Amino acid sequence: MKAKLDRLLTQANIRLSDQQKQQLIDLVNLLNKWNKAYNLTSVRDPQEMLVKHILDSIVVSPYLQGESFIDVGTGPGLPGLPLAIVNPNKHFVLLDSLGKRISFIRNSIRELKLTNVTPILSRVEEYQPNEKFDGVLSRAFASLKDMTNWCHHLPKESGYFYALKGVYHMEEVQELNNKYTVQQIIPLQVPELVGERHLIILQ
């Protein structure tokens, strides 16, 4: 698995330490193990997880601005856990409303010795943080309109929404409340992934 990860990182032009690479591999192994009992992801093959979960998450890393992020509807910690591994100096709150997913994340934090992740079991509209975030992340979450409606109370005044999407649909942007502006639409290159990926940044 390490050889494959090395190859994918080289193709994506991402440089990581040996420790970070090992943490990403350990995360895949944990996900694979827990998946058998808890059905956390439809991806069954650990080699595929490297592409569809790990690389698909960390390719957005260069675009993150700020120190504090919340990953909304994180599922089994995606993209939050891989991003926390590759950005040890940024802090990530991982929010999900399903207990089994948060249990997996808590276990992963312990096993991977991550000090920059806080798991939160809550529905997003009920979660009231003490401090707002530089960035609100979501992957395969609802529409942009739903994301901004449900998460409007989470970013700082200067913060951003980062929506990780597959195919980019122009009509999703047209449905947005006019208090939100699209800052960037970035086509993402994920090595060995079939299909389109986009990062949409809103403010």
* Token representation of residue 95: 């929010």
Judge whether 16 is annotated as a binding position: no
Amino acid at 1: M
Judge whether 124 is annotated as a binding position: yes
User: What is the DSSP annotation of the chain?
Assistant: -HHHHHHHHHHHT----HHHHHHHHHHHHHHHHHHHHH---S---HHHHIIIIIIHHHTTGGG--SSEEEEET-TTTTTHHHHHHH-TTSEEEEEES-HHHHHHHHHHHHHHT-SSEEEEES-GGG---SS-EEEEEEES-S-HHHHHHHHTTSEEEEEEEEEEESS--HHHHHTS-TT--EEEEEE---TT--S--EEEEE-
Judge whether 125 is annotated as a binding position: yes
**Torsions phi, psi for 131 (to 5 deg):** -130, 145
Judge whether 98 is annotated as a binding position: no
Judge whether 78 is annotated as a binding position: yes
* Annotation: binding site: 73, 78, 124-125, 139
* Annotation: binding site for S-adenosyl-L-methionine: 73, 78, 124-125, 139
